Structure 1
Amino acid sequence: MVKELETLGQVELPAEVTSVPKARRYVRELLEGSAHAQTDDALLLVSELVTNAVCHSDSGRVPGGRVIVAVARHNGTLHCDVIDAGSARRIPWLRTEVDFDSGGGRGLWLVQKLATAWGWHETTTGRVVWFQLGGA
Structure 2
Amino acid sequence: MHCKTLMEERWMPRDHKCVSSIRRFIRDLTTSEIAELLVSELTTNALLHTSTPAIRITATREDSFLTVEVHDTSDAIPKIAPADPSATAGRGLAIVQNLSQAWGWRPTPTGKAVWFRLLA
Secondary structure in structure 1 of the residue aligned to 2:57: strand
Question: What is the Cα-based RMSD across aligned positions, in Å?
Answer: 1.4
State the structure with more CA Rg.
Answer: 1
The 5-angstrom pairing of residues 18-97 of structure 1 reads 18-32=17-31, 39-59=32-52, 65-87=53-75, 90-95=76-81, 97=82
**Which sections of structure 1, spanning at least 5 residues, go unmatched?**
33-38, 60-64
Letter of the 1:47 counterpart: S
Percent identity of the aligned residues?
Answer: 36
Whole-Å separation in 2 of the counterparts to 1:108 and 1:93? 7
> Once the 2 structures are TM-superposed, how far is the Cα of residue 3 of structure 1 from its aligned partner?
4.3
**Which sections of structure 2, spanning at least 5 residues, go unmatched?**
none
Equivalent in 80, 96, 101 of residue 116 of structure 1: 101
Secondary structure in structure 2 of the residue aligned to 1:25: helix
> Once the 2 structures are TM-superposed, how far is the Cα of residue 100 of structure 1 from its aligned partner?
4.2
Larger proportion of strand: 2
How many matched pairs? 120
Whole-Å separation in 1 of the counterparts to 2:22 and 2:73? 17
CA deviation vs aligned residue, 1:83-108 (integer Å, no higher than 9, x gap): 01114xx431112x333432210000
TM-score, length basis structure 1:
0.82
Is the contact between residue 86 and residue 122 of structure 1 (CA under 8 Å) also seen in structure 2? no
Is the contact between residue 15 and residue 53 of structure 1 (CA under 8 Å) also seen in structure 2? no
Whole-Å separation in 2 of the counterparts to 1:130 and 1:119? 6
Letter of the 1:116 counterpart: Q
Secondary structure in structure 2 of the residue aligned to 1:58: coil
TM-score, length basis structure 2:
0.92
Determine the structure 1 residue equivalent to 2:112: 127
Is the contact between residue 78 and residue 133 of structure 1 (CA under 8 Å) also seen in structure 2? yes
Letter of the 1:9 counterpart: E
Secondary structure in structure 1 of the residue aligned to 2:16: coil
Whole-Å separation in 1 of the counterparts to 2:112 and 2:80? 16
> Once the 2 structures are TM-superposed, how far is the Cα of residue 71 of structure 1 from its aligned partner?
0.5
